[in-house]
A and B are shown apart, each in its own frame.
Chain A
Amino acid sequence: MISLKGLCKRYGDRTAVDDLSLEVRAGAVTGFLGPNGAGKSTTMRLVLGLDRPTAGTALIGGVPYHQLRNPLRTVGAMLDARALHPGRSGYAHLTALARSNGIARGRVAEVLERVGMAEGARRRAGALSLGMSQRLGIAAALLGDPAVLMFDEPVNGLDPEGVRWVRHLMRSLADEGRTVFVSSHLMSEMQLTADHLVVIGRGRLIMDAPLAEVIAGSALTAVAVRTPHADDLSARLSAAGVTVERLGENELVATGATIERVGDLAYEAGIRLHELRTREASLEQAYQELTAGSVEYATRGTGA
């Protein structure tokens, strides 16, 4: 489990991570979202002890990273799949990592098999496609059979089959009781993979909630209605203070009211309904609402 307390990182006068406190729990996939430059990668680097925090702490199972004696057996992380010597084979790369943490040699072939890189790993890392590099990076993260896994944009460069595979992998790792912390800019991907979401913008925490809550809380979650008396119902709902959008001859979308209230208002007016259902916002929409403020601010910031 990862816990951040008041984590801050400043580079000169730029604040990359600003007083971030959160817990990433075991047995779930936690999605880490935010616009570009929001501080996602920096946060992961701070957790791994690659950068020193300006203030605050990042602990793994209650211990700072540098105190882990064989860290790869506790935390597996892939920050950048291309971050390895291009002249070294994937196999040699993993062998060196295994040696450094006293991991049995046999694990190398095992994880390469698991990511489907049994053959590709014999080639120089620089000759691998981005998708294959991602698989190699994931193999390195899995090497020490760690309880905590962190992935920075793991589906970058993968084909649809690979994307499905990563989705499955995240799920099964979490189901095995591990902590899985994944950053992504692909909201649709997170909607399918994550149980819990952490959203940051400009280095600050914007939201830390279960996926279902984020989506339900969106103003874009609405009630869709199909009725032969769309004009009447539209007038009724508007009069009751509900925002109505006309989609077609017989279709309306109401926002700002629960499905029960829309149904009751139609019943009171004696209007026949052919369909009444909740239309959920996509994570993409919910996310855009959440981060609109920080993106706007960023744009103004760079313009100044």
Chain B
Amino acid sequence: MSEGDGRVSGGVGDEEDGRVNGVVLLGRAVGAEWVKLWSVRSTWWCLAGAAALTVLGAVTVGAGEATDLARAAAGDASVTASGPVVSAAALVPFALAAMATLVITAEYASRGIWGTLQAVPVRGRVLAAKALVVAPVAAVAGVLSGAAATAAVTAVLSADVFGARVALPPDRIALDLLRMGLFFALVSVMTVGVGAAVRSAAGTLSVVFMLLMGVPMILLMTGGSAALAASLRMPLFAGLAFMESADTVTGGPIPYPAGEGLAWLLAWTTAALAAGHAVLRRRDA
């Protein structure tokens, strides 16, 4: 211990105020969130979960598709290796949503949010920093685990039992993986927004689950055409539309263009962030 060692020398305050703008301050907040994300184990568990879900889901779906093709004796038709990966993408958002949830709810649970807001008192900046850290991590996780899953699908479907019905068109695969990364990034950012509004981990995951799966399923079960149209505009189906997934829970491709899917996805993400920001600003920490 070395109290009074003179190193802390009398209140220097905010001497660089003049040349520091909002962009620099946001950059610093992002740096802090980056350090926080990688210094807890839960991040690694969630990313490992996302990768495992992608690979296992894709191989299962891919094997099913190849079997269907073989049964139908469909000539030399083959499965695009990244196709099953995109189909399996309906499961993966939950693992990444868990990561995005913890980025904000773990701070409320431990009251670490006090320290966060002491360091960065502008609420919008805190939320933006968290979103800016979660988005690229989820995107890269999507691309990398998607690439691994594509390789796994290729390996499995090359086996004789599946009749080697697998194709590897590079353009299509690259597009699939990139779009999947963007989809995961947007779902994760949406989760950050929900987390800021709800604050508890259980509550946040419930709301995200309802948005992705629960509400669309309930709408589908009602069977009405308006309900069907609405459910297809919820974030999960909007994402599948954006990725042009051929095989979805609804039993076929989403009946609107990829661009519209992206637009709906952006709208949901923006709405969640706006809700989170409003609560952060108004409610006591």
- Chain A: residues with CB nearer than 8 A to chain B? 26, 45, 48-52, 61, 65-66, 68-75, 77, 79-80, 82-89, 92-93, 95-97, 99-102, 110, 113-116, 140, 142, 145-148, 165, 168-169, 172-173, 175-178
* Distance in angstroms between the alpha carbons of A115 and B2 in the assembled complex: 8
Please provide the 9 A-B residue pairs with the shortest distance between their CB atoms, ordered closest to farther: A147-B11, A92-B39, A100-B32, A172-B4, A83-B111, A99-B31, A51-B284, A66-B121, A96-B35
> Does A113 contact B4, Cβ atoms closer than 8 Å?
no
Chain B residues, CB < 8 A from A102: 16, 20, 24, 28
Q: Whose C-beta in chain A lies nearest to the C-beta of B283?
A: A52
> Does A165 contact B3, Cβ atoms closer than 8 Å?
yes
Chain B residues, CB < 8 A from A148: 11
> Does B10 contact A176, Cβ atoms closer than 8 Å?
yes
Beyond A74-B13, A83-B115, A99-B35, 6 extra complex contacts between A and B, CB < 8 Å: A49-B117, A69-B25, A71-B118, A71-B120, A71-B121, A102-B20
Contacts of B113-171 to chain A: CB distance below 8 A: 114-122
Known A85-B112, A88-B36; contact A100-B12, beta-carbon cutoff 8 A: no
* Distance in angstroms between the alpha carbons of A52 and B281 in the assembled complex: 9
Chain B residues, CB < 8 A from A88: 36, 39-40
Q: Whose C-beta in chain A lies nearest to the C-beta of B33?
A: A96
* Distance in angstroms between the alpha carbons of A223 and B267 in the assembled complex: 77
Q: Whose C-beta in chain A lies nearest to the C-beta of B29?
A: A100
16 intermolecular pairs with C-beta atoms under 8 Å apart: A45-B285, A49-B121, A51-B284, A70-B25, A73-B14, A96-B33, A99-B31, A114-B1, A114-B8, A115-B1, A140-B115, A142-B8, A145-B11, A147-B11, A168-B4, A177-B11
Contacts of B73-123 to chain A: CB distance below 8 A: 106-107, 110-112, 114-122
Asked whether any CB of chain A lies closer than 8 Å to the CB of B60, the reply is no
Q: Whose C-beta in chain B lies nearest to the C-beta of A147?
A: B11
* Distance in angstroms between the alpha carbons of A177 and B3 in the assembled complex: 15
Select which of A61, A83, A115, A116 is within 8 A of B112 by beta carbon: A83
Smallest CB separation, A203 vs chain B (Å): 16
Interface centre among A61, A65, A77, A176 (most CB of B within 10 A): A176
> Does B3 contact A99, Cβ atoms closer than 8 Å?
no
> Does A68 contact B110, Cβ atoms closer than 8 Å?
no
> Does A50 contact B3, Cβ atoms closer than 8 Å?
no
Chain B residues, CB < 8 A from A110: 7
Chain B residues, CB < 8 A from A48: 114, 117-118, 121
> Does A92 contact B8, Cβ atoms closer than 8 Å?
no
* Distance in angstroms between the alpha carbons of A131 and B17 in the assembled complex: 35
Chain A residues, CB < 8 A from B284: 45, 50-52
* Distance in angstroms between the alpha carbons of A165 and B110 in the assembled complex: 27
> Does B122 contact A66, Cβ atoms closer than 8 Å?
yes
Count of inter-chain pairs, beta carbons less than 8 A: 149
Chain B residues, CB < 8 A from A70: 14, 16-17, 20, 25
> Does B13 contact A114, Cβ atoms closer than 8 Å?
no
Known A83-B115, A88-B39, A100-B31; contact A145-B9, beta-carbon cutoff 8 A: yes
Smallest CB separation, B138 vs chain A (Å): 20
Q: Whose C-beta in chain B lies nearest to the C-beta of A175?
A: B4
> Does A50 contact B8, Cβ atoms closer than 8 Å?
no
* Distance in angstroms between the alpha carbons of A75 and B24 in the assembled complex: 20
Q: Whose C-beta in chain B lies nearest to the C-beta of A80?
A: B111
Known A85-B107, A85-B110, A176-B8; contact A147-B13, beta-carbon cutoff 8 A: yes
Smallest CB separation, B122 vs chain A (Å): 6
Asked whether any CB of chain A lies closer than 8 Å to the CB of B71, the reply is no
> Does A176 contact B35, Cβ atoms closer than 8 Å?
no
Chain A residues, CB < 8 A from B118: 48, 50, 71-72, 75, 77
Chain B residues, CB < 8 A from A173: 8
Select which of B1, B35, B285 is within 8 A of A92 by beta carbon: B35
> Does A146 contact B122, Cβ atoms closer than 8 Å?
no
Q: Whose C-beta in chain B lies nearest to the C-beta of A115?
A: B1
> Does A114 contact B3, Cβ atoms closer than 8 Å?
yes
Chain A residues, CB < 8 A from B11: 26, 145-148, 176-178
* Distance in angstroms between the alpha carbons of A39 and B2 in the assembled complex: 33
Known A66-B121, A101-B28; contact A84-B8, beta-carbon cutoff 8 A: no
Chain A residues, CB < 8 A from B3: 114, 165, 168-169, 172
> Does A99 contact B32, Cβ atoms closer than 8 Å?
yes
Q: Whose C-beta in chain A lies nearest to the C-beta of B37?
A: A96
Smallest CB separation, A61 vs chain B (Å): 8
Q: Whose C-beta in chain B lies nearest to the C-beta of A26?
A: B11
Q: Whose C-beta in chain B lies nearest to the C-beta of A110?
A: B7
Smallest CB separation, A47 vs chain B (Å): 10
